[in-house]
């Protein structure tokens, strides 16, 4: 008897975590008595493989781009390590993770990093930077990495080494994340075409591509032998995966903030302006639509009978796959806008925003489980600067991966060590300064924590040991209190209500105390004093100006304060 089959098994042992990752593929055909016994064994091994390795090989975790991670994550988390390359404004490229390797596009280079430490394994190009930018989430399949660039090329690189294998040239920039299914790579381009090419050779599968009337910059979703894509001509198209033959198309009204369709539960979900639509995947017939009070700003998360969307007013909405509203945020969850779709990991919905906001919500009710301010790699406690999160968050093997446009890839884990308490820095009044006690007097301080982040409900602000009603801006990391004429007013005894007098702060030394904890319970109490001398001229309170994000310096150190040693950025060698 001839057995024309073999198992390809790769084991990777992680001594630090005591974990072994197994990847296994079945090749060929097996017959005779083994046909009954082997499937059960194969099922056990495959289940073990899934449990040990949660690879992310394509944009938003699957060819349908539903945004559902292969595993969950425990909250709260703390920073594990951080790798910083060159600044890449508005970088939309999320990483791919296969085994213990991260594949990461950042501006004019493409990197493979060690998932444990952030150490650079290889980079492409190895010498001079590319004369273009990599702007897509990569896809990884059968040992090949695929990534698009603004020079119109889809590059195929050897996953172990970064060696250039081949490239396919479109007639416009490739901003569409590639999707690989059945040895075919599907992607769109700014030339208005969608391409299907052989994943091994780069030869066209659809001769000439599928032509639309405008750029196709979103991801191409693939499900049940059909492909779905949105063109800037305001049209959703469905075509046969094998031939590229048009099957149906639907005109989308309104403004398209989300350029990628999502396929789940035999539905296609699309958003335009403030409307969420569910279409029948086979025919394009509208099943239902929901109009929300404000614009929907990203693609939805969809799958397992659920759909989640984010609106411009900072709220989150959860529907089932029939369009029934299950819950929505009564108050805004996030302050700054998301520009990349959220991720669902287990029962945790993860949202990244501009100016560094990261939010983790309970997917069953919207309760906030964790929130974090990601500062630029050039930020300091005294001079905080901010960075935008413009790529979808990725979760794999219990790790959260966040790309920011200062050129950083930051990782978070629930088991990352964090014993360092928050840093508090006074802004005004300055320590030891003498000021007039006449109102208004503004009190301000900065609170930062790059470990697990500030747990905002633990913050206390005390003036002369008395709690005051403060404001805290998570985006700036700034706590403030204004002692104004209302605070300083009192109705003298024997006078009618409203006949108030304004009392200045008393002469002498006064104490300001700020208390804050991080999500791991590390606590800081910071105290400073100032002097009131009411013979001095009344001072004008400082007007707080918003600080703009400062991109990270070229190059830089990976690894940060947590985890392994990390690698260096482009210019850091």
Mean pLDDT of 69-77: 97
Collapse the DSSP code of 47 into the 3-class scheme (helix H, G, I; strand E, B; otherwise coil) and give the result.
helix
Q: Is the pLDDT of residue 554 over 80?
A: no
Check residues 383 and 494 and name the one with the higher pLDDT.
Answer: 383
Q: Is the pLDDT of residue 384 over 50?
A: yes
| CB 488, CB 504: distance < 8 Å | yes
User: Any idea which of 203-212, 305-314, 330-339, 553-562 has the lowest mean pLDDT?
Assistant: 553-562
Distant-in-sequence, close-in-space partners of 36: CB < 8 Å, separation ≥ 6: none
Mean pLDDT of 515-538: 95
pLDDT tens sequence across 392-416: 999 999 999 999 999 999 999 999 9
Distant-in-sequence, close-in-space partners of 52: CB < 8 Å, separation ≥ 6: 19, 20, 21, 22
Which pLDDT score, from 0 to 100, does residue 244 have? Answer: 98
pLDDT tens sequence across 261-272: 999 999 999 999
DSSP output for 265-325: TTEEEEEETTEEEEEETTT--EEEEEE-SS-B-SPPEEETTEEEEEBTTS-EEEEETTS-E
Residue 487: band (very low, low, confident or very high) from pLDDT cuts 50, 70, 90? low
Distant-in-sequence, close-in-space partners of 203: CB < 8 Å, separation ≥ 6: 197
Mean pLDDT of 136-146: 98
Distance CA 23, CA 9 (A): 6
Distance CA 42, CA 55 (A): 19
**Do the bridges between strand 226-231 and strand 221-223 make them parallel or antiparallel, or are there none, so unpaired?**
antiparallel
Distance CA 245, CA 423 (A): 59
Q: Is the pLDDT of residue 567 over 50?
A: no
In the structure encoding, which two tokens stand for residue 551, read together? Answer: 């991109």
Rounded to two decimals, the pTM is 0.83
Q: Which of the 8 DSSP states describes residue 382?
A: S
Q: Is the pLDDT of residue 17 over 90?
A: no
Longest dimension (CA), the chain: 110
Distance CA 98, CA 143 (A): 10
Distant-in-sequence, close-in-space partners of 277: CB < 8 Å, separation ≥ 6: 252, 269, 270, 271, 286, 288, 289
User: Any idea which of 7-21, 480-494, 508-522 has the lowest mean pLDDT?
Assistant: 7-21
User: Any idea which of 60-74, 93-107, 243-257, 530-544 has the lowest mean pLDDT?
Assistant: 530-544
Distance CA 286, CA 299 (A): 18
Mean pLDDT of 442-466: 96
Q: Is the pLDDT of residue 46 over 80?
A: no
Give all strands of the β-sheet with 368-373 in edge-to-edge order.
343-345, 348-352, 357-362, 368-373
Percentage of residues of the chain with pLDDT beyond 90: 76
| 124, 126, 128, 129: CA torsion to nearest 10 | 20
User: Which region holds residue 339: left if phi is over 0, alpha if psi is between -120 and 50, else beta?
Assistant: alpha
Q: Which of the 8 DSSP states describes residue 218?
A: S
Q: Is the pLDDT of residue 228 over 50?
A: yes
Q: Is the pLDDT of residue 1 over 50?
A: no
Q: What is the mean pLDDT of the chain?
A: 85
Q: Is the pLDDT of residue 12 over 50?
A: no
Which pLDDT score, from 0 to 100, does residue 475 have? Answer: 80
Mean pLDDT of 123-127: 97
Residue 92: band (very low, low, confident or very high) from pLDDT cuts 50, 70, 90? very high
Could you write out the three-class secondary structure of 318-376?
Answer: EEECCCCEEEECCCCCCCCCCCCCCEEECCEEEEECHHHEEEEEECCCCCEEEEEECEC
User: Dihedral sign, CA of 87, 92, 96, 100?
Assistant: positive
Fold classification of 423-492+499-532 (topology level): Immunoglobulin-like (2.60.40)
Percentage of residues of the chain with pLDDT beyond 70: 81
Q: Which of the 8 DSSP states describes residue 198?
A: E
- Neighbour-count burial for 531-544, b at 16+ CB within 10 Å, e otherwise: ebeeeeeebebeee
Distance CA 40, CA 26 (A): 14
pLDDT tens sequence across 259-318: 899 999 999 999 999 999 999 999 999 999 999 999 999 999 999 999 999 999 999 999
Q: Is the pLDDT of residue 40 over 50?
A: no
Which pLDDT score, from 0 to 100, does residue 491 have? Answer: 37
In the structure encoding, which two tokens stand for residue 11, read together? Answer: 């084991």
* Main-chain phi, psi angles of 112, to 5 degrees: -115, 125
Q: Where are the domains of the chain?
A: 4-52, 423-492+499-532
User: Any idea which of 24-28, 177-181, 429-433 has the lowest mean pLDDT?
Assistant: 24-28
Mean pLDDT of 350-360: 96
Q: Is the pLDDT of residue 35 over 70?
A: no
Check residues 540 and 249 and name the one with the higher pLDDT.
Answer: 249
Which pLDDT score, from 0 to 100, does residue 377 have? Answer: 87
What H or E segment, with its residue span, contains residue 118?
none
Which pLDDT score, from 0 to 100, does residue 539 have? Answer: 59
Check residues 31 and 112 and name the one with the higher pLDDT.
Answer: 112
pLDDT tens sequence across 93-113: 999 999 999 999 999 999 999
């Amino acid at each position: 008897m001839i057995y024309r089959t073999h198992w390809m098994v790769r084991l990777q042992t992680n001594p630090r975590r005591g974990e072994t990752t197994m990847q296994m593929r079945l090749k060929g055909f097996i017959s005779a008595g083994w046909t009954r016994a082997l499937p059960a064994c194969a099922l056990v091994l495959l289940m073990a493989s899934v449990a040990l390795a949660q690879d992310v090989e394509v944009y938003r975790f699957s060819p349908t781009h539903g945004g559902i991670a292969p595993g969950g994550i425990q909250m709260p988390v703390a920073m594990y390590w951080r790798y910083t390359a060159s600044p890449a404004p508005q970088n939309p490229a999320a990483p791919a993770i296969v085994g213990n390797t991260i594949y990461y596009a950042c501006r004019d280079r493409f990197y493979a990093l060690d998932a444990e430490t952030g150490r650079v394994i290889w980079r492409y190009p190895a010498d001079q930077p590319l004369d273009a930018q990599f702007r897509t989430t990569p896809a990884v399949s059968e040992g090949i990495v695929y990534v698009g660039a603004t020079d119109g090329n889809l590059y195929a690189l050897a996953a172990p080494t970064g060696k250039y294998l081949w490239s396919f040239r479109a007639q416009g920039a490739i901003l569409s994340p590639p999707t690989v299914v059945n040895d075919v790579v599907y992607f769109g381009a700014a030339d208005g075409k969608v391409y299907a090419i052989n994943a091994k050779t780069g030869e066209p599968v659809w001769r000439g591509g599928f032509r639309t009337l405008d750029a196709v910059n979103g991801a191409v979703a693939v499900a049940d032998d059909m492909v779905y894509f949105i063109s800037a001509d305001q049209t959703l198209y469905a075509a046969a995966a094998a031939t590229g033959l048009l099957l149906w198309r639907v005109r989308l009204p309104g403004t398209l903030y989300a350029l990628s369709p999502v396929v789940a539960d035999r539905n296609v979900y699309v958003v335009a302006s403030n409307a969420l639509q569910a279409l029948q995947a086979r025919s394009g017939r509208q099943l239902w639509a929901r109009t929300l009070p404000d614009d929907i700003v990203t693609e939805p998360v969809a799958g397992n009978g659920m759909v989640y969307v984010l609106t411009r007013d900072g709220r989150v909405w959860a529907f089932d796959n029939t369009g029934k509203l299950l819950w929505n945020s009564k108050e805004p969850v996030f302050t700054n806008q998301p520009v990349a779709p959220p991720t669902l990991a287990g029962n945790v919905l993860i949202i990244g925003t501009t100016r560094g906001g990261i939010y983790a919500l309970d997917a069953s009710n919207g309760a906030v489980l964790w929130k974090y301010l990601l500062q630029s790699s050039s930020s300091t406690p005294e001079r905080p600067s901010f960075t935008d999160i413009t790529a979808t968050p990725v979760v794999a093997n219990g790790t959260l991966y966040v790309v920011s446009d200062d050129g950083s890839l930051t990782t978070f884990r629930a088991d990352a060590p964090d014993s360092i308490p928050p840093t508090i820095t006074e802004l005004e009044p300055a320590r030891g300064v003498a000021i007039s006690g006449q109102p208004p007097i503004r009190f301000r301080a900065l609170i930062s924590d790059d470990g697990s982040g500030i747990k905002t409900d633990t913050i206390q602000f005390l003036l002369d040991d008395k709690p005051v009603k403060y404001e805290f801006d998570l985006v700036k990391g700034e706590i403030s209190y204004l002692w104004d004429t209302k605070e300083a007013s009192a109705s003298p005894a024997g006078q009618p209500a409203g006949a108030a007098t304004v009392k200045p702060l008393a002469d002498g030394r006064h104490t300001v105390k700020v208390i804050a904890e991080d999500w791991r319970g590390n606590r800081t109490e910071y105290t400073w004093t100032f002097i009131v001398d009411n013979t001095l001229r009344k001072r004008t309170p400082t007007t707080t100006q918003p600080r703009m994000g400062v991109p990270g310096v070229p190059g830089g150190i990976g690894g940060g304060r947590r985890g392994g040693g990390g690698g260096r950025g482009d210019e850091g060698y």
